[in-house]
C-alpha cells in the first residue's frame, strides 16, 4: 500500500465519486478525469449471459483513500492460534456438519479462478487456496461447492452468508476491511497494461485518448482515467480480450495476475509498462467468523512453509517462484 502513488488514490476517489455517488468521500473529481464510458461494443451491450458487473470494487476503493491513514492492508488479519484445528462449536464445525464448504469464486480469470472447459471444473491459484482450506476442515479432498460470483457479489455474499469464503483475485483494502475480514496476504499483484503484439504503447501513459478496457466499476478504470485514456467497461475480463481481439479497444489494464491469464489465451498480446499499484490479495470472510479467519490463516501459514503454496504458484503463475508475500497480523 505504501508503494501506491498518492495520485492513484486521488483518482480512485474521483472515479468512485462519479460512479457510485460516494459524496461522503469528500473529493471533487480531478479536472482532467473523464467519466467512465460504458462500452458501445457489442460485448457490453448485449451481454445476455453475463451478470451485470458492479461498482463495489471502486466504492470500496473510494473508502480506501479516506481510511488509508488508519489501516495497513498487508497486516490487518488475525493471527492463527497454532495449527488448523476444527474445535467444537466453531464455524468450521458447522461447515463440517453441513458436509461442504461454500466458496465464492471467479470462473473467468484464467489461472486464478476459471471454469476449465475441458472438464467443467473450476480451477486456479485462488481455487487451490480454497481446496487447502476445505481439506483442513474435512481431512480429505473435495467437499467444496463453488459459487461463481461477480465482483459486485463478493462483499454482499459474505455479508448475507451466501458463501463462507471468497477467493476472487480480491485486493485487501481499508474500505473492505470495514465490511469484511480478510485472511493474510496470499498473493501480491500489480496493475499493468496488456496490448497487441504490434502496439508501440509501453504503458498507460502512451494510451492517452485511446480506448482501454476494464470491468465495470473496477478500480482499474480509475487509473485508466487518470492517464486520460477512455475506459471501456464490460462485465468480465475475458470480455475485454474479446474487444481487444475485435480491435474495439487499444489495451486492457488491470492486475498483472489477470493480464497474465489473458496473455496466455492470445499469443498475439503482450504485457507492457511498469507496475503501477500494489494489490495484496486476501480471502474474504465474514467478520462474524473470526475463528474461521484464524483457522484459514493457520492453513495459509502451513501452505507457505510446506511447499504447497510454491507448488501451486509454479503450476498456475509460473517459475521462478518468489518467496510468499510477507505476513503480518493485526493481533
Partner 1 sequence: MASTAVSAGGRAGSTVPARPRRFRRFRPTLSTTPGRLRLLLIIGVLLSLAWGALAGFTASQYAAAASSVVATREPLSLDAQQIYSRLSDANDAAATAFLTGGLEPPAVRQRYLADIGAAASGIEAATANGGAASGAAAQDLNTLAEDLPVYAGEVETARADNRLGLPLGAAYLREASGLMRSTLLPAASGMDAAENVSLDATSAQATGLPLISVTLAVGLVIGYLLYRAARWLRRRTNRVLNLGLVAAGLALIVSLAWLAAAYTAGRGDMLAAQARGSTPVEALAKAGIAAQQAHADESLTLIDNSGDDVYQQDYVSEERALGPGPGTLLTAAQAAAAGSPAASAADAAVLDARAWYAAHAAVRALDDKGSHAEAVASVLGTGPADAGVPFAKLTADLSAGTTADQATFDKSAQAAAGDFTALAPGVAVAALVMAASCAWGLSRRLVEYR
Give dist(CA 78, CA 62) in Å, integer.
24
Give the one residue of 91, 110, 182, 309 binding partner 1; rule: CB under 8 A. 110
254 binds partner 1 (CB under 8 A): no
Q: Which residues contact 287 (CB under 8 A, 6 or more apart)?
A: 179, 180, 181
Region of 15-23, 104-112, 177-185, 318-326 interacting with partner 1 (CB under 8 A): 104-112
Examine residue 91 and tell whether it contacts partner 1 (CB under 8 A): no
Pick one of 18, 34, 47, 304: the residue that binds partner 1 (CB under 8 A): 47
Smallest gap, in angstroms, from Cβ of residue 43 to partner 1? 5
> What is the smallest separation between the CB atom of 147 and partner 1, expressed in angstroms?
4
Identified binder of partner 1 from the candidate list 58, 77, 109, 225, rule CB under 8 A = 109
Task: State which of residues 23, 31, 48, 70 lies at the interface with partner 1 (CB under 8 A).
Answer: 48
Residue 145 interacts with partner 1 (CB under 8 A)?
yes
Q: Determine, following the binding rule CB under 8 A, whether residue 239 of this chain makes contact with partner 1.
A: yes
Interaction of residue 197 with partner 1, rule CB under 8 A: no
Is residue 42 near partner 1 by the rule CB under 8 A?
yes
Residues that bind partner 1 (CB under 8 A): 42-43, 45-51, 99-100, 102, 104, 107-110, 114-121, 145-150, 153, 157, 162-163, 236, 238-239, 241-242, 261, 265-266
Amino acid at each position: 500500500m505504501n508503494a501506491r502513488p498518492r495520485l492513484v488514490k486521488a483518482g480512485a476517489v474521483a472515479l468512485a465519486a462519479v460512479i457510485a455517488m460516494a459524496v461522503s468521500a469528500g473529493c471533487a473529481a480531478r479536472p482532467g478525469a473523464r467519466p467512465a464510458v460504458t462500452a458501445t461494443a457489442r460485448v457490453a451491450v448485449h451481454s445476455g449471459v453475463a451478470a451485470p458487473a458492479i461498482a463495489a470494487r471502486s466504492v470500496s476503493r473510494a473508502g480506501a483513500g479516506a481510511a488509508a491513514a488508519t489501516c495497513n492492508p498487508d497486516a490487518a488479519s488475525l493471527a492463527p492460534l497454532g495449527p488448523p484445528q476444527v474445535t467444537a462449536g466453531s464455524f468450521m464445525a458447522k461447515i463440517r456438519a453441513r458436509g461442504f464448504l461454500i466458496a465464492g469464486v471467479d470462473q473467468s480469470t484464467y489461472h486464478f479462478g476459471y471454469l476449465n472447459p475441458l472438464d467443467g471444473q473450476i480451477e486456479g491459484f485462488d481455487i487451490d487456496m480454497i481446496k487447502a482450506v476445505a481439506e483442513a476442515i474435512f481431512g480429505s479432498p473435495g467437499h467444496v461447492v463453488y459459487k461463481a460470483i461477480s465482483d459486485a457479489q463478493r462483499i454482499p455474499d459474505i455479508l448475507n452468508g451466501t458463501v463462507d469464503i471468497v477467493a476472487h483475485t480480491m485486493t485487501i483494502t481499508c474500505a473492505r476491511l470495514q465490511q469484511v475480514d480478510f485472511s493474510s496476504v496470499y498473493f501480491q499483484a500489480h496493475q499493468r497494461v496488456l496490448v497487441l503484439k504490434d502496439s508501440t504503447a509501453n504503458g498507460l501513459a502512451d494510451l492517452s485518448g485511446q480506448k482501454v478496457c476494464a470491468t465495470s466499476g473496477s478500480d482499474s478504470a480509475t487509473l485508466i482515467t487518470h492517464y486520460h485514456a477512455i475506459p471501456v467497461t464490460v462485465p468480465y475480463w475475458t470480455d475485454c480480450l474479446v474487444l481487444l481481439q475485435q480491435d474495439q479497444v487499444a489495451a486492457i489494464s488491470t492486475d498483472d495476475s489477470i493480464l497474465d491469464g489473458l496473455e496466455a489465451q492470445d499469443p498475439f498480446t503482450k504485457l507492457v509498462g511498469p507496475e503501477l499499484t500494489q494489490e495484496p490479495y486476501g480471502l474474504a470472510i465474514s467478520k462474524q467468523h473470526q475463528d474461521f479467519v484464524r483457522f484459514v490463516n493457520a492453513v495459509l501459514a502451513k501452505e507457505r512453509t510446506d511447499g504447497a503454496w510454491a507448488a501451486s504458484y509454479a503450476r498456475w503463475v509460473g517459475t521462478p517462484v518468489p518467496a510468499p508475500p510477507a505476513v503480518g497480523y493485526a493481533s
